[in-house]
Structure 1
Amino acid sequence: MDLLMSDVRLFVKAVEMGGLTQAADALGVPKASASRQLKRLEVLVGHALLHRGAGRFGLTGEGRIFLPTAKEVLEAVDQALAQLSDTNETLTGRLRISVPGYVGRELLCSHLAGFMAAHPQLKLTVNISADRVDLFREDADVMIRAGREGCEEFVARRIKKLGRVLCAAPSYLDRHPAINSVDDLAGHSFLTSGPERQAMEMVIPGRHQEYIVKAAGVFRANDPELLQRIASSGGGIALIPLLCAEGAIRSGALVSVLPSLELMPKELNLMYLPARRNTRKIRTFVDFIFEALERSIQAQKQEGPASEGGAEMFSGANPGKAELRMATQVPDQ
């Protein structure tokens, strides 16, 4: 009996997803067929590879031995297939990208048309979501996210550092005493996507140190655009990416709070699975986006001081000064 790659792939996928049913769904295999495939693989290797039963699923001792080699074999086959596909100049199939809304609109929208024009036979799907997708479940081929928490198993290429800003609506600030120092932030209501804390506290990520502030209230959401909208309506002081706050700041709906306080920027990363690093469609998209962003940055530099604020806001080189400069551009009401 010959070893079938589809059986090996099913075994590895079941381990990654924690169940045979989940693996079958991800691979588009009927549950009954998946069970037969796993049994066939176990007969071939001469050992049970997975414990499975009511409420029990996991690797056997032999499964733990077999798993690393199985992954290596699959990666080698995938790389070989990717190299063969390079002989075909036309990209086909589909490419699924998951990206937060504000990044998709501000960062990708001006570049995707060029990519689609260059590869008209590739089906491109963009999923706007603030949540991390599960690349192992094949919810997406590529995802763009701020930070790397929980993504240690992925290849992560840093796109840029996103500057962050503390900002609030003028109507909110008018109801409270002037804020001239970090200590003055105590007792305020905050809007953040940061992790929850046991006490009613807000963490302010300064570039050189973290500040813990006693808060009157902390509202958390995984969508910076939602936080920006609540802040614009007077709901509190928001800690959000500069990229997300830029439009509201220019319109006067938001103003900077402590603009001289330099905040720690957050990395914006493009991520994909290690086993797919040589997939041609992913490699082509990654190269295209990085080259396009580099051209945008160079163009902004050449345009002069009028555009430097935008470039600085995106890079997070000096969030405080970038924010202060933008606030002074708002006309008198």
Structure 2
Amino acid sequence: MDLNLIQAFVDIVEAGNLSEAGRRRGVTRSQVSRQLRELEHQAGAQLLRRTTRRLELTEPGRSLYQHGLRILQEVASAQAEIDSLGKTLRGHVRISVPTGLGDTFLAPLLLEFADRHPGITLRVFFANRVVDLIAAEIDVALKVTSQPPLDHVARDICAIDWQLCAAPAYLARSGPLLAPADLARCQFLCPPYPARRFILTLDRGDQRDEVELSPHLQSEHFPFLMRAVREGHGVGLLPVYAGWEDVREGRLVPVLKEWKPEGLGNRLFIITTPNLHPSMATRALIEFLRQRIPALDVFSGNAAALDPP
């Protein structure tokens, strides 16, 4: 069978219809249709059943699709191996990064990687809620979570610590915050939680406390959340990496410093779909990030960088 036709067939299945497959391949719908007919002729079987609303795989089509994916992955891996022998990595990687972490720390690393490997093209998505990597067409996802998905490959990169902080002007208005219970009288700013009210858990050594709070403002976009905290809208629950520079420069003040709050995730993971033969480009990017991210000051335990002058 023609490998180009197998690639066209895989594109049709993943696109869901001939028109979208043509758009992705940069050809017309009629060209895609002809490629499908030719492949069915070579296979000697109907591969797709056309209904008024969508395309459905026949049993032979399902088998060819599964084998075709593996064939194409093997070919891509072989090409990447050949390229690596010539010291030139080639390929395309689609990566998703969290918004706040991506804007502040990961964007410079990705640009550095792109400079190092001009033969690798990147498509970068800034998103916090990528769940299905296959449906989202993502090769690599960085995600802050305490429970990585069990049906994916999760590589533990580093710990993510959280802190409570506020603008000096807000603390001057609200009065001193000496104990976790004092948070109940504050305007609380945090990432989205499922319920209107939630329980914030804080630890201090072997001591544990819980405070029921009703958030005044919630957002998963950390640059916006940081701006709200800096402008004095309340006490923010933020990852340390998001606010460390503001704390160091005195624009924000840590609140209840001896207490460690629990956030929405305590580890950073690199997540991929199970794949025995990832491309050399994907492997290179993963290894680069595994080495560089933990070396950043904000993740390396450099506590001095987090203290105000």
TM-score category (smaller protein)? 0.7 to 0.9
Q: Give yes or no for contact 1:203–1:210 (8 Å, CA) kept in 2.
A: no
Equivalent residue number for residue 235 of structure 1: 233
Equivalent residue number for residue 300 of structure 2: 311
Q: TM-score, length-normalised on structure 1?
A: 0.70
Q: Distance in 2 between matches of 1:167 and 1:71?
A: 49
Match of residue 86, structure 2, among 85, 88, 97? 88
Deviation string 1:307-331 (CA, Å, 9 cap, x unpaired) is xx86227xxxxxxxx5xx777x435
Q: Give yes or no for contact 1:96–1:126 (8 Å, CA) kept in 2.
A: yes
Pairwise mapping of residues 282-297 of structure 1 onto structure 2 (< 5 A)? 282-293=282-293, 296=295
Q: Give yes or no for contact 1:249–1:255 (8 Å, CA) kept in 2.
A: yes
What is the aligned-residue identity percentage? 27
Q: Given the superposition, is the C-alpha separation of residues 123 and 65 from structure 1 closer, same or farther in structure 2, using an over 3 Å criterion?
A: closer
Q: CA deviation at 1:252?
A: 2.3
Equivalent residue number for residue 186 of structure 1: 184
Q: Distance in 1 between matches of 2:224 and 2:181?
A: 26
Match of residue 11, structure 1, among 9, 22, 32? 9
Q: Given the superposition, is the C-alpha separation of residues 326 and 17 from structure 1 closer, same or farther in structure 2, using an over 3 Å criterion?
A: same
In the alignment, does 2:267 pair up with 1:267?
A: yes
Q: Distance in 2 between matches of 1:131 and 1:160?
A: 18
Deviation string 1:6-26 (CA, Å, 9 cap, x unpaired) is 333343344445444444433
Deviation string 1:154-209 (CA, Å, 9 cap, x unpaired) is 54433222212222223333433544444443354333333443xx2145365799
Q: CA deviation at 1:243?
A: 0.5
Q: Secondary structure at the match of 2:164?
A: strand
Pairwise mapping of residues 28-177 of structure 1 onto structure 2 (< 5 A)? 28-92=26-90, 97-100=95-98, 102-104=100-102, 106-108=104-106, 111=109, 115=113, 118-119=116-117, 121-122=118-119, 125=122, 127=124, 129-131=126-128, 136=134, 142-147=140-145, 155-176=153-174
Unaligned runs of 5+ in 2: none
Q: Distance in 2 between matches of 1:111 and 1:25?
A: 32
Equivalent residue number for residue 305 of structure 1: none
Q: CA deviation at 1:234?
A: 1.4
Q: Distance in 1 between matches of 2:286 and 2:134?
A: 19
Instruction: Single out whichever of 109-118 and 159-168 deviates more from structure 2.
Output: 109-118
| Letter aligned with residue 9 of structure 2 | F
Q: TM-score, length-normalised on structure 2?
A: 0.74
Q: Distance in 1 between matches of 2:106 and 2:34?
A: 44
Equivalent residue number for residue 257 of structure 1: 255
Instruction: Single out whichever of 158-167 and 142-151 deviates more from structure 2.
Output: 142-151
Deviation string 1:124-171 (CA, Å, 9 cap, x unpaired) is 557472456786578765443323989776544332222122222233
Q: Give yes or no for contact 1:190–1:202 (8 Å, CA) kept in 2.
A: no
Q: Give yes or no for contact 1:17–1:136 (8 Å, CA) kept in 2.
A: no
Q: Give yes or no for contact 1:130–1:222 (8 Å, CA) kept in 2.
A: no
Q: Given the superposition, is the C-alpha separation of residues 72 and 95 from structure 1 closer, same or farther in structure 2, using an over 3 Å criterion?
A: closer
Q: Secondary structure at the match of 2:30?
A: helix
Q: Give yes or no for contact 1:201–1:218 (8 Å, CA) kept in 2.
A: no
Q: Considering only aligned residues, what root-mean-square deviation do their CA atoms show, in Å?
A: 4.0
Q: Secondary structure at the match of 2:85?
A: coil
Q: Given the superposition, is the C-alpha separation of residues 196 and 89 from structure 1 closer, same or farther in structure 2, using an over 3 Å criterion?
A: same
Equivalent residue number for residue 204 of structure 1: 200
Equivalent residue number for residue 306 of structure 1: none
Q: CA deviation at 1:290?
A: 2.7
Q: Give yes or no for contact 2:157–2:290 (8 Å, CA) kept in 1.
A: yes
Q: Give yes or no for contact 1:162–1:267 (8 Å, CA) kept in 2.
A: yes
Q: Distance in 1 between matches of 2:12 and 2:281?
A: 25
Q: Give yes or no for contact 2:158–2:299 (8 Å, CA) kept in 1.
A: no
Q: Distance in 2 between matches of 1:15 and 1:243?
A: 41
Equivalent residue number for residue 319 of structure 1: none
Q: CA deviation at 1:115?
A: 4.3
